[in-house]
Amino acid sequence: MKTEQIRLEIEKNLNALLPDKTNDAWSRTIFGELPSSVTEKHISQLLEPCRSLVSLGGKRWRPVLSVLCSQMVFASKNKDKSRDDGPRPDAECFKLAPLVEFVHTASLIHDDIEDGADTRRGKPCAHITYGLDTALNAGSWLYFTAGAAIEKLDISDERKNLYYSLFLTELRRLHLGQAMDIFWHRNPELFPSIDEYRAMVQNKTGTLSCLAVITGVVSGGGTKEQALKAGEIARGIGEGFQILDDVQNLTTGNPGKKRGDDIVEGKKSLPVLMHIQKNPQDKEKISSCFYKAQKEGIISESVEECISILEKGGCIKEAFERGHSLVKQKSLELVQLFEKEPLSESALEIINLFESMLPKI
């Protein structure tokens, strides 16, 4: 199955668990039996902020990766067996697409609140459109609703428990990574080591890639041990893309965002940390730029001043090359964990997926 077909199937499963209009069956799945006085207008306080962000799109590359991993692992385990007319081997994984995508969406809602951001995917952030209290509550609800994708599966309790265990571990790690990030960006003078930055990113961003791959491996028939090993490789893919995201913020600006808003938000991104490691004499100047940008906003001259310092030091380009290399290296490691040459169609699709997402050097 080609990537575009996979995306269409993923959208169906996302819409089924986060519908435009609710019905009794959906309500019972999510909430159990509710009092008759609970109506659509009450439930919409949760649904609308979440659906509005999900409907704005996104690459959906994590659930796509999950399905491709499921297909690859299944093909690897059954290469000497003839296929029958039974259920598609990736059917379970498609139903788990919300597990990855809803956690991603919930993290964006909360991330925007914690960063004081005003736009996401070119539109006002959820907390601006719906209010801080509603957005915060809806984002939290979506984390839990993601888990309903497991509950709906027609599989053994033992298998459900495995999915739940892996899912909840990654949720806890995601929040640890976010806690580290918040701790640093609240203090303009506090700069973590590069190793600390990597640990933060592998938890905060890498956990989503890890969850996608773990889900795919298990649904494809892989063992828990194989899933965990593949998940650790996937953390590196997430790290690589976060580095590239850091670089884009300081160059062209991220889609739906403004160039340099990471500086306003106090983000200690890899180009900043690399520059300070090489040029410790600039630490005080960069710290001053962060402080002024946080105080004055995106129009502050200190934003471009800080970017100029980083450009002259060459660390933006160096970080770009590191992120680029990391994605390529780890995506190859991922497929080679299960396959040797010649690679299956699904393994090649994984390689091609990441190649298509990588910006050109």
Residue 116: per-residue pLDDT: 84
171-186 pLDDT, tens digit each: 999 999 999 999 998 8
Q: How many Å apart are CA 122 and CA 237, to the nearest integer?
A: 25
190-242 pLDDT, tens digit each: 999 999 999 999 999 999 999 999 999 999 999 999 999 999 999 999 999 99
pTM confidence score = 0.91
Number of domains the chain contains: 1
Q: How many Å apart are CA 336 and CA 102, to the nearest integer?
A: 29
Q: CATH number for the domain including 191?
A: 1.10.600.10
Domain residues for the domain of 226 are 3-357
The radius of gyration computed from the CA coordinates of the chain, to the nearest angstrom, equals 21
Residue 313: per-residue pLDDT: 94
Q: Cβ–Cβ contacts within 10 Å for residue 51, how many?
A: 19
Angle in degrees, 0-180, between the axes of helices 270-278 and 224-250, rounded to the nearest 10:
70
Residue 341: per-residue pLDDT: 81
Query: Residue 119's beta-bridge partner residues?
Result: 124
> Given pLDDT bands bounded at 50, 70 and 90, which one contains residue 95?
very high
- CA-based angle 105:217:64, to the nearest 5? 40
Residue 81: per-residue pLDDT: 64
Q: How many Å apart are CA 246 and CA 320, to the nearest integer?
A: 9
